[in-house]
Amino acid sequence: MRNATAPSANEPAVAGLRERNKADKLQRIRDAARMLFIEHGYDGTTMRDIARQANVGFGTLFTYASDKRDLLFLIYNDDLDTTVETAFRRASGKRLFVEQLVAYFSTFYAFFLPQPELSRVVLREMTFYLNGMQARQFQASTGRLLDHLRSLTASARAAGGLSTREDPQIIAQALLSTFAQELRRWIAMDAPVLAEGTMRLRRMLALQINGLGPGPGALGSGKAS
């Protein structure tokens, strides 16, 4: 007589089928959300529209995302994770600090370029994006991005490329702020051109690295780092 607590022979197959069905639903939801956001705009698309297009129950959406903004990042999070790691590999292959930064940040320019209108929405919605099922993954990606910038800064300083005594974390945050502002300015153009965007970004980063050469009348009695 078979032990009542022992798993039946077909339980692994059932579990595998369940996981495949779940993965299939997830992919259909991603595809439907992306298509509708592109065709009808983020603001013009409802969650019910997405459920209908994906051929899933409305309540099923909430298994994967808390709200429409979460659905937007459900589309982008995995690709964004990959882009963060790709950016660091590209930057690590450069010698000059400014070229490392341009290589790092231009990877994101290329990532957002194919769908400028939807990218503008993503950049808008990521502001104060702290809550939601997908928010943790997004915040983790942002954390790795800052870690990369801090690592590049610390390495440049150790190699004698930077003389500042400022905390690398503060420098990383300042560099990220410059990048974020420039990315938004560039993607807002009617027809953003990658080379033009990265050229201006390089100029802004070079200015930040060089500083403004403060004289006695700029900082008062304080000293530049």
Q: What is the pLDDT along the chain (225 residues), one digit of tens a residue?
A: 455 555 565 666 666 767 788 889 999 999 999 999 999 999 999 999 999 999 999 999 999 999 999 999 999 999 999 999 999 999 999 999 999 999 999 999 999 999 999 999 999 999 889 899 999 999 999 999 999 999 999 999 999 999 999 999 999 999 999 999 999 999 999 999 999 999 999 999 999 999 877 777 777 765 555
Q: Output the six-digit token pair for 171.
A: 């420098």
Same domain, 136 and 171: yes
Please report, for the domain that includes residue 122, its CATH number: 1.10.357.10
Same domain, 109 and 164: yes
**Are 100 and 157 contained in the same domain?**
yes
Check: CB of residue 123 under 8 Å from CB of residue 197: no
Residue 216 in domain: no
Size of the chain, expressed as the number of residues it contains? 225
Q: Is residue 11 part of a domain?
A: no
Q: What pTM does this model have? A: 0.86
The answer on 82 and 55 residing in a single domain is no
What is the total count of domains within the chain?
2
CATH number of the domain that residue 33 is part of: 1.10.10.60
CA distance 9 to 33: 38
204, part of any domain:
yes
* 92 in the same domain as 22: no
Under 8 Å between Cβ of 187 and 123: yes
* 132 and 163 together in one domain: yes
Do 148 and 195 have their domain in common? yes
Alpha carbon of 74 to those of 28, 30, 39, 64, 65: distances in Å? 12, 7, 18, 8, 7
Domain that holds residue 94: 75-211
Instruction: State which H helix or E strand residue 138 sits in.
Output: helix 135-158
**Does a structural domain hold residue 162?**
yes
Q: Are residues 165 and 199 in the same domain?
A: yes
Claim to verify: residue 59 and residue 103 sit in the same structural domain: no
Coil, strand, or helix at residue 96?
A: coil
Quote the CA–CA distance of 150 and 154 in Å, as a whole number. Answer: 6
Question: Do 142 and 45 belong to one domain?
Answer: no
